Amino acid sequence: MDTVLTALRKFAIVYHPDLTDAGRTTDEVVRFLLENGADVAESGPAYDSDMADCVSSQSYDLLIALGGDGTMLRAGHLCAPRDLPLLGINMGHFGFLTEVGRDNWKGALKSVLNGHYRLENRMMLKIEHFRGDDSLGCWQAINEVVICRGQFVRPIQLSANVDGYQISNYVADGLIVATPTGSTAYALAAGGPILPPETRNLLIIPVAPHLSMDRAIILPEGAKVTVTVKTSHEAVLSVDGHPPVVVVDGDKIESTASNFHLKMVRLKDPGYFYRNITLYMENHPGTGNDR
């Protein structure tokens, strides 16, 4: 992690439009920033195309997202290609990605304005979908790619190899390839291990495997994971919960470490992550499916 003591002055603020009080709190955040030394504080809904264009075209020091982890993912996809740091204010329930609560954001923003924060660099994945030699799509993932069955309630067959070496065949509802950040998302619900966010690994975890390997595999950053789909019925892939893309028998999905990374602003000491995990497990004993 890098220690940063540069005061930030230009802010973009996005919020989830459907969350109670998110819009009102955003207005309060804008006023607070401008009254406390910010040069620019511009806001809009997280899913608004005009706001996305604004973030893409303007020079900001920080993007602030008000919402839950879904809003943070949306904001993260705006930030990463622009090397723009991200800070989350939690307006939902428990969030692994948000840093600040709805009741303590003023103190947090004062710290940011005074340059008292850290940057935590989060690894991302590059996902590419091949049919034969043709590339049909390419995405950047903060959490994961999921290759899974579609509308038919029947498992699919998936073959996974790493750097050209086959590691396992799966008969399962699906297969997740995740980042350390994604280890606390769908991968956690599927029974996978929890990886500290600053590590740089790829995680493979099957979803509801049937008479096939049911263990997670942790791989180094430089690995290339190729998943080949073997199915006679509908299967799909989804990146970070985005709308599903249909895949057919023989399609391959490649996952490698991305050249992008997500810069997360952190105000707490590095032990915050382990405290969050303990709190989450205390509130959700025996489960891992509340995102």
Q: How many CB atoms lie within 10 A of CB 138?
A: 11
Annotate 83-100 with b (16+ C-beta within 10 A) or e (fewer).
ebbbbbbbbbeebbbbbb
Residue 134 among the catalytic residues: no
Q: Are residues 103 and 184 located together in one domain of the fold?
A: no
Q: Are residues 111 and 136 located together in one domain of the fold?
A: no
In a domain, 215, yes or no: yes
In a domain, 286, yes or no: no
Please give the residue range of the domain that contains residue 51. 2-115
Which segments of 112-213 are extended strands (E)? Answer: 117-131, 134-141, 144-149, 156-162, 165-172, 174-178, 201-207
- Residue 288: its pLDDT value, please? 45
Q: Are residues 161 and 233 located together in one domain of the fold?
A: yes
> Which entry of 50, 69, 134, 214 is annotated as an active-site residue?
69
Strand (E) or helix (H) holding 15: strand 10-15
Confidence of residue 283 (pLDDT cuts 50, 70, 90): low
Q: Supply the DSSP string of 85-139, one letter for each residue.
A: -EEEEE-SS--SS--EETTSHHHHHHHHHTT-EEEEEEEEEEEEEEETTEEEEEE
CATH number of the CATH domain containing 214: 2.60.200.30
* Rounded-to-integer distance, Cα 209 and Cα 156, Å: 10
CA distances from 104 to 62, 108, 160 (A): 18, 7, 45
Q: How many domains does the chain have?
A: 2
What is the tens place of the pLDDT at every residue in 110-123? Answer: 999 999 999 999 99
Q: Are residues 130 and 229 located together in one domain of the fold?
A: yes
Q: Are residues 75 and 140 located together in one domain of the fold?
A: no
Reduced to 3 states (helix: H, G, I; strand: E, B; else coil), residue 1 is coil
Q: Are residues 108 and 168 located together in one domain of the fold?
A: no
Q: Are residues 108 and 131 located together in one domain of the fold?
A: no
Q: Are residues 16 and 137 located together in one domain of the fold?
A: no
What is the tens place of the pLDDT at every residue in 32-78? Answer: 999 999 999 999 999 999 999 999 888 999 999 999 999 999 999 99
What is the tens place of the pLDDT at every residue in 86-138? Answer: 999 998 776 778 889 888 999 999 999 999 999 999 999 999 999 999 999 99
Q: Are residues 76 and 129 located together in one domain of the fold?
A: no
In a domain, 280, yes or no: no
